């Protein structure tokens, strides 16, 4: 069985542990490789390598660091298909979808090339007589990234591009379910000229994460995954004195007002609900149909679902692939037996849903009760719920009382209603007639409530703030002739 290695000090390193974690081909259900879960000493070796490389990398000029990012940008661009094919073979998403993921990751590399400008500090001349004050941004040291299975290329790129260009070194612990693309990214960074040790990968699961949290040389942890794990990593990491941002799960509501274009709203709901088999943290999982639009909307969504082609990533016509594991598919499937909604389209009727691959067809559940598991749980699969609301206020109250606050969207032709929605909703990312409002790389990504623990969002300006710390210098170059003792408290006036 093929083993997925770690990447330490600029090269692949075989695992030595005795715990083996399966990497499946989700389209066939076959075990195609294994992760040899990192042991404590292996995690320590990766962190030590990153800590040893950090002073040298920090000392590299800003333009040198940016140059590495420019080269990395070209290498990612030139290897889009290789990256996409590799990740879809382990994740199961279509190659076109995987290429979209790589493209959104690439945006973060491009943002990082501009870091020399973005890392500029401030300068106040003559803050007091003969005194200047200025701020500088310095790296934290070694930053660790812990990432989920659903975006094995993009989410690591959210983290390491800004961390590296700011002068940190990095240890990535990718998802054990689709780990290979992290090694190709590591090799592209090496080819771009990143010094050995500046980027390391440890393969594994919970125990590798615990070793990273406990390691005194890790200054900061950037985590993306489910809410229970995000919460525990945030708590354990901050208790260990580290800076932590931990992004969690979601239940994204798409509110459709009565004046919305029903066809456009149905297209958006189906695209955002079933793209990547619903395994996106920004997937629309609840459509909130306001007033009289509901029946027409449900009909239009059901009609479109009937045309979705489900198949393996190797089928160029497939639009939706399998789920990540058999266990996860069975969990998602089990919701369709639950009370609290009317199943309008049942994904279990897909012939492949009974095959060895981890397929489940797209499902639509109408009249979902807000106290049912359809509504309260992050199902993270191709099950789209419809909740019917009588008024705009009722719809907004649903968004605002939801445990999660990652993304939400409104579909309407009324600019005033859209503006009011943007003002009213308690949620980190809002779409106006845009169902998946993932911010471009020069903004930052992050939810509110149980979708993010910590203060700063990931990538963009918040990402740079997260992986740097500010130092403020107060400076005087006195004329020796004017110097004298003064025990008074320093004043500026």
Which residues are identified as catalytic? Answer: 281
Q: Is 387 in the site for ligand NAD (CB under 6 A)?
A: no
What's the min distance (Å) between Cβ of 257 and ligand NAD? 26
Please give the structure tokens belonging to residue 264: 């456009």
What's the min distance (Å) between Cβ of 248 and ligand NAD? 6
Let me know: does 474 contact 133? Beta carbons within 8 Å: yes
The residues near 301 (Cβ < 8 Å, ≥ 6 apart) are: 266, 269, 270, 287, 364, 384, 386
The residues near 412 (Cβ < 8 Å, ≥ 6 apart) are: 256, 257, 259, 260, 418, 421, 433
Stretch of 72-80, 173-181, 262-270, 346-354 lying at the interface with ligand NAD (CB under 6 A): 173-181
- Following DSSP, what letter does each residue of 251-304 receive, concatenated? -EEEEE-TTS-HHHHHHHHHHHHHGGGG--TT-EEEEEEETTHHHHHHHHHHHH
Stretch of 88-96, 246-254, 312-320, 384-392 lying at the interface with ligand NAD (CB under 6 A): 246-254
| Closer to ligand NAD by Cβ: residue 314 or 376 | 376
| Closer to ligand NAD by Cβ: residue 220 or 389 | 220
What's the min distance (Å) between Cβ of 232 and ligand NAD? 6
What's the min distance (Å) between Cβ of 452 and ligand NAD? 7
Q: Which of 48, 73, 91, 173 is in the footprint of ligand NAD by CB under 6 A?
A: 173
88 vs 312: CA distance, rounded Å: 9
The residues near 281 (Cβ < 8 Å, ≥ 6 apart) are: 148, 150, 224, 247, 249, 250, 406, 451
Residues 250-269 that bind ligand NAD (CB under 6 A): 250
137 vs 160: CA distance, rounded Å: 17
Q: Is 378 in the site for ligand NAD (CB under 6 A)?
A: yes
Q: Is 402 in the site for ligand NAD (CB under 6 A)?
A: no
| Closer to ligand NAD by Cβ: residue 132 or 205 | 205
Please give the structure tokens belonging to residue 149: 């299975």
Q: Is 149 in the site for ligand NAD (CB under 6 A)?
A: yes
| Closer to ligand NAD by Cβ: residue 75 or 254 | 254
Q: Which of 179, 249, 347, 357 is in the footprint of ligand NAD by CB under 6 A?
A: 249
| Closer to ligand NAD by Cβ: residue 58 or 331 | 331
Any bridge partners for residue 30, and if so which? 25
What's the min distance (Å) between Cβ of 124 and ligand NAD? 37
Q: Is 175 in the site for ligand NAD (CB under 6 A)?
A: yes
Residues 428-457 that bind ligand NAD (CB under 6 A): 447, 451
Let me know: does 37 contact 18? Beta carbons within 8 Å: no
User: Between 189 and 218, how does the x/- string for binding to ligand NAD read (CB under 6 A)?
Assistant: ----------------xx--x---------
| Closer to ligand NAD by Cβ: residue 281 or 389 | 281
The residues near 405 (Cβ < 8 Å, ≥ 6 apart) are: 426, 427, 428, 447, 448, 449, 450, 451
| Closer to ligand NAD by Cβ: residue 240 or 262 | 240
Q: Is 226 in the site for ligand NAD (CB under 6 A)?
A: yes
Q: Which of 4, 106, 112, 146 is in the footprint of ligand NAD by CB under 6 A?
A: 146
Q: Total residues at the site for ligand NAD (CB under 6 A)? A: 28
Q: Is 380 in the site for ligand NAD (CB under 6 A)?
A: yes
Stretch of 55-63, 98-106, 150-158, 389-397 lying at the interface with ligand NAD (CB under 6 A): 150-158
Closest of 405, 399, 404, 403 to residue 387, by C-alpha? 399
> Which single residue brings its beta carbon nearest to ligand NAD?
225
Q: What is the largest CA-CA distance in the chain?
A: 91
Query: Which residue is associated with the tokens 């590399």?
Result: 109
What's the min distance (Å) between Cβ of 148 and ligand NAD? 3
What's the min distance (Å) between Cβ of 139 and ligand NAD? 23
3-state secondary structure 60-85: CCHHHHHHHHHHHHHHHHHCHHHHHH
Indicate the DSSP class of residue 17: -
| Closer to ligand NAD by Cβ: residue 223 or 421 | 223
Q: Is 147 in the site for ligand NAD (CB under 6 A)?
A: yes
What's the min distance (Å) between Cβ of 158 and ligand NAD? 8
| Closer to ligand NAD by Cβ: residue 66 or 320 | 320
Q: Which of 50, 87, 244, 281 is in the footprint of ligand NAD by CB under 6 A?
A: 281
340: region left, alpha or beta (phi > 0 left; psi from -120 to 50 alpha): left
SS3 (DSSP) at 158: helix
Let me know: does 174 contact 152? Beta carbons within 8 Å: yes
**CB-side neighbour CA atoms (13 Å) of 140:** 25
What's the min distance (Å) between Cβ of 125 and ligand NAD? 41
Please give the structure tokens belonging to residue 327: 């266990």
227 vs 332: CA distance, rounded Å: 17
Binding site for ligand NAD (CB under 6 A): 146-151, 155, 173, 175-176, 205-206, 209, 224-226, 229, 233, 247-250, 281, 378, 380, 406, 447, 451
């Amino acid at each position: 069985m093929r083993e997925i290695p770690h990447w330490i000090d600029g090269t692949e390193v075989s695992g030595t542990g005795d715990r083996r974690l399966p990497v499946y081909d989700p389209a066939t259900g076959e075990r195609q490789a294994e992760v040899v879960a990192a042991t404590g000493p292996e995690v320590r070796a990766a962190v030590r390598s990153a800590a040893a490389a950090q002073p040298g990398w920090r000392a590299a000029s800003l333009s040198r660091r940016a140059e590495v990012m420019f080269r990395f940008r070209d290498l990612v661009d030139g290897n889009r298909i290789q990256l996409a094919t590799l990740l879809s073979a382990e994740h199961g998403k279509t190659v076109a979808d995987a290429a979209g993921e790589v493209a959104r990751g690439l945006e973060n590399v491009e943002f990082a090339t501009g870091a020399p400008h973005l890392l500029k500090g401030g300068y106040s001349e003559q803050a007091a007589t003969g005194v200047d004050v200025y701020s500088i941004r310095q790296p934290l040291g070694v930053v660790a990234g812990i990432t989920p299975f659903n975006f094995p290329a993009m989410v690591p790129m959210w983290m390491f591009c800004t961390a590296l260009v700011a002068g940190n070194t990095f240890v990535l612990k990718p998802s054990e379910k689709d780990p290979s693309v992290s090694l190709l990214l590591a090799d592209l960074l090496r080819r771009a000229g990143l010094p050995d040790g500046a980027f390391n990968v440890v393969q594994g699961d919970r125990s590798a994460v615990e070793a990273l949290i406990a390691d005194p040389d890790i200054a900061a942890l950037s985590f993306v995954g489910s809410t229970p794990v995000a919460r525990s990593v945030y708590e354990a990491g901050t208790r260990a004195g580290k800076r932590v941002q931990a992004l969690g799960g979601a239940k994204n509501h798409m509110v459709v007002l009565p004046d919305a274009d029903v066809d456009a709203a149905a297209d958006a709901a189906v695209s955002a609900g079933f793209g990547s088999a619903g395994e996106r943290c920004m997937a629309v999982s609840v459509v909130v149909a306001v007033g009289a639009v509901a029946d027409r909307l449900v009909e239009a969504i059901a009609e479109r679902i009937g045309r979705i082609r489900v198949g393996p990533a190797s089928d160029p016509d497939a639009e939706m692939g399998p789920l990540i594991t058999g266990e996860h598919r069975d969990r998602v499937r089990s919701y369709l037996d639950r009370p609290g909604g009317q199943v309008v389209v049942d994904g279990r009727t897909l012939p492949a849903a009974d095959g060895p691959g981890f397929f489940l067809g797209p499902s639509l559940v109408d009249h979902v009760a807000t106290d049912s598991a359809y509504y309260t749980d992050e199902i993270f699969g191709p099950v789209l719920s419809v909740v019917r609301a009588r008024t705009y206020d009722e719809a907004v109250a649903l968004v605002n009382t939801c445990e999660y606050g990652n993304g939400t969207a409104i579909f309407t032709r009324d600019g005033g209603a859209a503006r009011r929605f943007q003002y009213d909703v308690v949620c980190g990312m809002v779409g106006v007639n845009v169902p998946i409002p993932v911010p471009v790389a020069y903004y930052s990504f992050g939810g509110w409530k149980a979708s993010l623990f910590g203060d700063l969002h990931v990538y963009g300006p918040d990402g740079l703030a997260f992986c740097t710390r500010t130092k403020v210098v107060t400076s005087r170059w006195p004329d020796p002739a004017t110097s004298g003792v003064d025990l008074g408290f320093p004043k500026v006036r």
